[in-house]
Structure 1
């Protein structure tokens, strides 16, 4: 991999005090009214093509893959841009023309009028999220479900953030190219970008063999940063035009009005492009729970982040408040040193307490599907699931152990009768909070933020296994 150049912030006309203030602001965003606070997992900030700040909070790491959720959509857009440049994709063609086997079934003129550019811009005409309705119609072929559910608004005008539109766009790309989205992107984009570990990247699928497009891509933070830098550079990379500049321009400008998504200060109300959100400053790809790729053309900067955050507007507000003023403000070696110190030895927080003793607990409720019993010793946590699956994880005092199967844990006796366990799924934003009662021998489990797809321990922890890469969706409703 060709390494991105690294520089001190001051050498790229950036005051590191602003970066420290941004990180401090994230730390200060605590849980309010049941909404979880901000928990960063990684951050990478580029200025003038140089990495000026980067960090990972243990147990997350630079080489670790992270579920990007809807930030995956921007990669689907990029694949569509490549197919468009190869003349395999026509933005002004009806979606139905790519699925001729459905032509006789899809008779409603509203569905027949949906164009490829409409699904690329979330303006297929449905007024609400349509994914579950598509699955209800045809769980095994959501494209059919999409086309058999006519829009109740106007295609090309009505905006609704709907997973199905991106899924159908990805399905078209995969049909015309004869490969999955990820396989199509590898030689045309990921390899020329110099992305490390591209063979390890994966995308969840539904139906089998089709990358779902709207979520499920697992990639590193630097992969996200490089994609943002490619768009910032108009699709050019090291003297090669990887992505057509015309596509970059169209994808990153307003294609449809999204002002129904909040007031004037909302970064979700600034317009939507081709699988990119417009922002009050620049534009971005983003995914649930805090996955971000913010591109700032005026500042020649890119911010890539992963984490666990329900209030993503607060993250963007902190960036506008602290990072923007730091650009083109004189820095100093002292400020650079303060930032370097701030970014050392970071780890996810965990409550103080005493070492745990050997004990066993059974589930008090069925909050977590399949987990029925856990066993603790001072050095291990063992999880017993209803299907007979047993997972044993090491415990270390004062630190997060290295992940085992993309799963790691900490456990502490936080009160006389209470043991608290944090179970971290290190290829996702999510952790499971397990509270054990020493008096009753029972435990309760609660997600800090609810996973949007698989919700069992075995499916979340083992999703990197090639045999486990199917997204979990509800069964067809009767």
Structure 2
């Protein structure tokens, strides 16, 4: 999809990329992949095993930037405009007695997240109208005049997705497949969906790291891919320009790159701009340096951005040596997340009952967990739910309900420990079984934003009503 080049040839220091990796390691940032593109060529790429190049990865809210491009395409087709009002495009979703402000909300207000709600409206809107988020969004009270204050608001992007679908007559995934992904050579874009089957729009897109990097390169080129213009240049420019002040996600936090302003579903950065998803999914574009960086992770985005500016950026324009390039390439090939250490104990089975008292529990209270040895590993049965294949000293893959899980484990004395990676997401479950006590826990490393039930997350496609606090 993207051509490759050695860092030295492209004019970027491989030592600066190594310093970036050092910084992430020193700060215990769990990255799953990184791809650095300079002057249109991939100069560094790596995946921390068990993550790999061919795997799509859940992008969370980085999805919003793709929805923004869909809006721009609909506008270019003459089907939508920035001044079009929600109540006019989606009249069947307007609540009775909608407020004057609700009736004035336009595409511009949704894109810039300046509808005027005091906080993210998603949970309250869905509680208000469980079967119609658009209606719930319009029904909620406002705290500021439209267009005057940015509030990060997932519902705005959901409404935009429904508006694009209404005016184009196509589902959002199908529309972007035809107009963006297939022309770019992206042959598989998976979308999580709400219970009705509609794509979230504000999250839920799964893409490979290279597809994310290619998206950033498309933006850097002003919407041109190869010899074909896929997105109008003026839309790329307006979408990635600052439209409103923004505040850090948390009061008194050091989210410097989330305080530089907000565009149309893009964040402005201290250098360039970026699309951002929870737990560290990033597409960073720095036009001044002809630089694109794609990252998937389970960590904090600001840590990654700080490392880019302080370690990577000073090396742009300063090519190094062939030897330095070879050292970096070898390091990138050997990236891996730590695996569970311990013995195989190949004759040992165990049966336990699950304790789900912790908030991070992935499975219901009392679930029976049975571990039986197999050749080179174990079969873990979560009785009446699904089975997982677990390797010893190597990753083992299975797809119990459609979505792949990659797992490895070991016996540590009388305790069985296994890491179960829902490998197309940032998340994993650590299973710990106390053979003496006959008890087990299965805890998420980080709680998925769409809820803790692991059964949902190993089913493909994920279909649920969001549970976003």
Indicate whether the TM-score tops 0.5: yes
For the residues of structure 2 that align with 1:462 and 1:424, how far apart are their CA atoms? 14
1:327 aligns with 2:288: no
Q: 1:23 to 1:106 in 2, by over 3 A?
A: farther
Q: 1:149, CA displacement in angstroms?
A: 1.0
Moved more, 434-443 or 210-219: 434-443
Q: Structure 1 residues 263 and 417 mapped into 2: Cα distance closer, same or farther (>3 Å)?
A: closer
Superposed displacement of residue 443, structure 1: 1.2
Cα distance in 2 for residues equivalent to 1:233 and 1:39: 30
Residues 244 and 351 (structure 1 numbering): CA distance in 2 closer, same or farther, change over 3 Å?
Answer: same
- 1:472 is displaced (CA, Å) by 3.6
SS of the residue corresponding to residue 377 of structure 1 reads: strand
1:393–1:409 Cα contact (<8 Å) kept: yes
By how many angstroms is 1:279 displaced? 0.7
Give the match for residue 417 of structure 1. Answer: 414
Deviates more, 1:445-454 or 1:279-288: 445-454
Using the TM superposition, give the Cα deviation of residue 263 of structure 1 relative to its aligned residue in structure 2, in angstroms.
Answer: 6.5
| 3-state secondary structure, aligned to 1:307 | strand
- In 2, the alpha carbon distance for the partners of 1:225 and 1:457 equals 29
Number of aligned residue pairs: give it. 454
| Cα distance, 1:368 vs structure 2 | 2.6
Deviation at 1:106, TM superposition (A): 4.1
Matched, 1:131 2:122: yes
The equivalent residue for 2:364 is 370
Query: How far does residue 40 in structure 1 lie from its aligned partner after superposition?
Result: 1.3
Counterpart CA distance in 2 for 1:260 and 1:292 is: 17
Q: For residue 42 of structure 2, what is the aligned residue in structure 1? A: 51
Q: 1:68 to 1:103 in 2, by over 3 A?
A: closer
- 1:266 paired with 2:264, answer no
What corresponds to 2:466 in structure 1?
473
Provide the aligned C-alpha RMSD in A.
Answer: 1.9
What is the 5 A alignment of 1:67-82?
67-82=58-73
Q: 1:391 aligns with which of 368, 371, 387?
A: 387
Paired residues for 1:298-317 under 5 Å: 298-309=288-299, 311-317=300-306
Residue aligned with 1:191, SS = helix
CA contact (8 A) 2:356 2:364 kept: no
Residue in 2 that maps onto 1:26: 24
Q: Distance in 2 between matches of 1:25 and 1:449?
A: 22
Greater Cα shift, 434-443 or 244-253: 434-443
Identify the residue that residue 294 of structure 1 maps to in structure 2: 284
**TM-score of the pair, normalised by structure 2:** 0.92
Alpha-carbon distance in 2 for matches of 1:203, 1:39 = 24
1:189-204 maps to which residues of 2 (within 5 A)? 189-195=180-186, 197-198=187-188, 201-204=189-192
Query: Where does structure 1 differ by over 4 angstroms across 4 or more consecutive aligned residues?
Result: 260-265
The separation in 2 between residues aligned to 1:260 and 1:345, in whole angstroms, is 35
